[in-house]
Amino acid sequence: MSFQSAGYPLLPVLPELVLAVGAMLLLMLGAYRGQGTTRLITTLAVVLLAVTGVLVLSLPAGKHVTFGGSFIVDDFARFLKVLALIGSAATLILSSEFLSDPSRRIFEFSILVLLSTLGMMVLISAGDLIMLYLGLELMSLALYVVAASNRDNAKSTEAGLKYFVLGALSSGMLLYGASLIYGFTGTVAFTGIAAAAKTGDVGVVFGIVFLLAGLCFKVSAVPFHMWTPDVYEGAPTPVTAFFASAPKVAALAVFTRVTLTAFPGIVPQWQQIVVFVSIASMALGSFAAIGQKNIKRLMAYSSIGHMGFALVGLASGTVEGAQGVLIYIAIYVAMTLGSFAIILAMKRNGQAVENISDFAGLSRTNPLLAFFFAMLLFSLAGIPPLAGFFAKWYVFVAAIKAGLFTLAVIGVLTSVVGAFYYLSIIKVMYFDEPLPKLDPMRVELRTVLAVAGLFNIFFFVYPGPLVSVATAAAKSLF
């Protein structure tokens, strides 16, 4: 039953309303009190994200629709909204040191993260093409500004500009695809498109190509990945951590929802696109990372590869595939946040170090940090029994059940190639001559690392809760 019949049309959007109003109030607080409120606003922003998460979880069970079907709250939306909120909250916790620097007291940073998260939540619940575009732009506009938030740094401003120009191009492609789909089906609602697009009309297929091209840019999948390494390297490290976690959740969510709910009748047409993008992303992510010297650039290529692996599940077009995508993205967020907690802790005499060679001999100067990073890298490589292995297991099994054997084999082979560059970092940490000791790690970084690292190591002991929630979320799409 829908809330509209019960007379509460705004109840499904309550978390989004609370987040929007809260962000506006914090903006007013910052505007009146000045830059001295940066720490307070960051703390309140984390609290606001936690409150929003509680509201998402406390919405009544089942599927609820409002705004004439353009906003959907189901198990799929709940799962991914909570994941996006966790990613954003962890990013704000990780960025506390970056924001405490007197030269960079920018209270707007936390508010931009909140507004971007609001866009992600709208995107995850989008039930038609107009809501999809609104969510996407709300998320992206804040991200463009955040990428260039370190205004005194030429690399950071360049990163923001590159991201903005290419992002505008991708939005144009997405809009063109949406207009073609509307023109050939006569509706913008996903359910209406599903009813009208059963024949695989050439115009609809062209529309899908442009729509998926715009979405590929947001998940940084090949061939729309070109911005990723430069923006990851140029943006401040906490911003890179944000780019690598929460926005990926929202973009993959809408990728999954659009393909499975708007085009269920023409799976073979969009499946070809997803298979190509998936193979290209896995291959580029594995091979291009081998020669990297900067850890943030390496993480950029790693994230391109991981989006390729996640799309393996989507390519199968089944419930198991959707479940695989959800488990993959949840584990990926944990691995990424843990890795970036360590990258942010890499400081000598107050100066951040970003080269892979700077990890030399870390196992002797800081054995616990080296152990956690090694576990996260093994997990990113997909080595059992760590969480990353199960993430890949679920998507490959879904692909095999759907008969996509070539895709699964290429996925396994590129995983092996990808393992090489993760293992080369471990070799630097454990076998190279040690460099001077790092500065002590801050409490907030330690907290994020402990949660992400322990989840990663002990996931195999009790995977049940995540798997069952992901299964229920995937089923709600079909």
- Integer angstrom CA distances of residue 458 from 217, 245, 331, 339, 450: 33, 21, 12, 17, 12
Q: CA 478 to CA 468: how far, in whole Å?
A: 16
pLDDT, tens digit (0-9, with 9 covering 90-100), for 240-258: 999 999 999 999 999 999 9
- The reply to whether 254 falls in a domain is no
Helix or strand (DSSP H, E) at 414 = helix 405-431
State which amino acid sits at residue 383: I
- The reply to whether 156 falls in a domain is no
pLDDT, tens digit (0-9, with 9 covering 90-100), for 54-75: 999 999 888 999 888 899 999 9
- State the pLDDT confidence band at 2, using cuts at 50, 70 and 90: very low
- State the pLDDT confidence band at 5, using cuts at 50, 70 and 90: very low
pLDDT of 7 reads 57
Average pLDDT over every residue of 420-441: 90
pLDDT, tens digit (0-9, with 9 covering 90-100), for 297-318: 999 999 999 999 999 999 998 9
pLDDT of 351 reads 83
- The reply to whether 146 falls in a domain is no
Token pair 């291959």 in the structure block, residue: 283
Average pLDDT over every residue of 21-27: 96
- The reply to whether 39 falls in a domain is no
User: Is the confidence at residue 40, as pLDDT, over 50?
Assistant: yes
Q: CA 262 to CA 265: how far, in whole Å?
A: 8
- The reply to whether 291 falls in a domain is yes
The helix/strand/coil state of 316 is coil
- Integer angstrom CA distances of residue 218 from 136, 139, 153, 222, 348: 9, 10, 25, 11, 34
pLDDT of 431 reads 92
Count of domains forming the chain: 1
- The reply to whether 474 falls in a domain is yes
Choice among 45-49, 61-65, 170-174, 302-306 with the minimum mean pLDDT: 61-65
- State the pLDDT confidence band at 3, using cuts at 50, 70 and 90: very low
- State the pLDDT confidence band at 193, using cuts at 50, 70 and 90: very high
Question: Which range of residues forms the domain containing residue 477?
Answer: 263-478
Q: CA 422 to CA 171: how far, in whole Å?
A: 34
Average pLDDT over every residue of 102-120: 88
User: Is the confidence at residue 4, as pLDDT, over 50?
Assistant: no
- The reply to whether 206 falls in a domain is no
Q: Which residues pair with 351 in a beta bridge?
A: 348
pLDDT, tens digit (0-9, with 9 covering 90-100), for 329-354: 999 999 999 999 999 998 888 788 88
Which class for 120: exposed (0-12), middle (13-18), buried (19 or more C-beta within 10 A)? buried
- The reply to whether 158 falls in a domain is no
State which amino acid sits at residue 153: N
Q: Model pTM?
A: 0.94
